[in-house]
Amino acid sequence: MNSLSLNFDWLTSGNDAPEIQQTMGMFGLKAGEISLSRNEDIWSQTIRDTVLVSAYPLAAWMVASWWRLLYEPLPLGRRFSKKA
């Protein structure tokens, strides 16, 4: 069975507002063994499975969008099947 894995390694970074600066970190998201956050770091010219982000804007978006995330129906013609 596949699982969804979220990983956040906290860092203090940047000169932004305190709520942004104090919630920075390396974010990783995996579905089973597949990295959904894989990206190319053009500064170090490497491929990484994590991305540097602030958790504050993500949390604010989730609070503002909770109803849509839980209850908004899928667009017509799109169906997802559950596999046991």
The larger pLDDT score, comparing residue 70 to residue 35, is at: 35
Helices (H), the chain: 18-21, 55-71
Contact 39, 52 (CB under 8 A): no
Q: What is the mean pLDDT of the chain?
A: 84
> Across residues 30-36, what is the average pLDDT?
91
pLDDT > 70? residue 50: yes
Answer whether residue 49 shows pLDDT above 90: yes
Per-residue pLDDT at 43: 87
User: What per-residue confidence (pLDDT) applies to 37?
Assistant: 92
Largest Cα–Cα distance in the chain? 47
Q: pTM of the entire structure?
A: 0.64
